[in-house]
Structure 1
Amino acid sequence: MADDEAKKAKQAEIDRKRAEVRKRMEEASKAKKAKKGFMTPERKKKLRLLLRKKAAEELKKEQERKAAERRRIIEERCGKPKNVDDANEDAIMRICKEHHARIAKLEDQKFDLEYIVKRKDMEISDLNSQVNDLRGKFVKPTLKKVSKYENKFAKLQKKAAEFNFRNQLKVVKKKEFTLEEEDKEAKKAEKADWAIGKK
């Protein structure tokens, strides 16, 4: 009997320790859940899925709206199709003139819009450069790729030009505006000096 009571007491002690460990584990898990707050991983996953679905729906609606707007603008600019199968020559000429006038008008509008876009682009680039100047940041220009050999070739050509024989020749000015008589006299004087033996 004493053995049974000792076994029961031992078993009760083991059960009590297990219960205590369980209780500590549950408190720790509750503390972890309390730290996580409202957004648990499962809720985050569901929220991501819902956001993706919503974004996909919005994207689809936007594409449909853009396609409808495009169709409406094309119909507005091109007009309704004309029946040219049953038309005579005068009617076809009239239709061609109408289309020609419409095309000229659209080209005019296109040119105006392109000019406006270019002007706005220039204004944007000017404003960007002004902002960068105010900030003190300078945009690095994009560098062109230059071949090493091309640079060396240019240096060699420059050196060759320096050693060119014609560049080192002395320039002699001719007497263009002297009289012929003076030239003849100078030659006679030289000849006479040579004949006499003067240097």
Structure 2
Amino acid sequence: MADDEKKRLEEAKKAKQAEIDRKRAEVRKRMEEASKAKKAKKGFMTPERKKKLRLLLRKKAAEELKKEQERKAAERRRIIEERCGKAKNIEDANEAELQTICQMYWHRIYNLEGDKYELERAIEIRKMEIADLNSQVNDLRGKFVKPTLKKVSKYENKFAKLQKKAAEFNFRNQLKVVKKKEFTLEEEDKEKKPDWSKGKPGDQKVKEEEVEA
């Protein structure tokens, strides 16, 4: 009985190991197939194929651009014909026909100028209304619109102050320095009497004659 039990255990182990090996082989096979598929995908775009694809894309883009330009040119011609009309044959026209064509163009220009003036006036009115509404909205919100201020250089005030100080310094240097003469008692005695205190030139002679008499 013990031998049979051992045999069953060994067979179970072998079967389990065989199952594990089989699963590992399957996983390995799947991984190899996936790697082969990746390599095949990477090798699909060869340099020659890339070059051909690039040329085809450029050709397609050039064709699309040409079609777009033609479409825009046709649209432009259509709009010009609608607004200005077809070009008149001036070379084979006589004087009366030329006058008629000029009058027609003059009336067209006159009407267009009138329409232009009305449109500009309507635009100005709209702008004024928009500005008024904006100011009303700001007043309701309690916001104050800051006025646009001019940029002032911060160095201008410094230069102005320096120039002012330099002007004051020059003005002080140009002023004459007045020296006050200090008088002493001795200098007061030595001072000469003024001319008015001496009297007239004839007064001295009159005094001498009176003394002799």
Q: Considering only CA atoms, is the larger Rg found in Structure 1 or Structure 2?
A: 2
TM-score between the two structures when normalised by the length of structure 1: 0.42
State the TM-score, normalized to the length of structure 2.
0.40
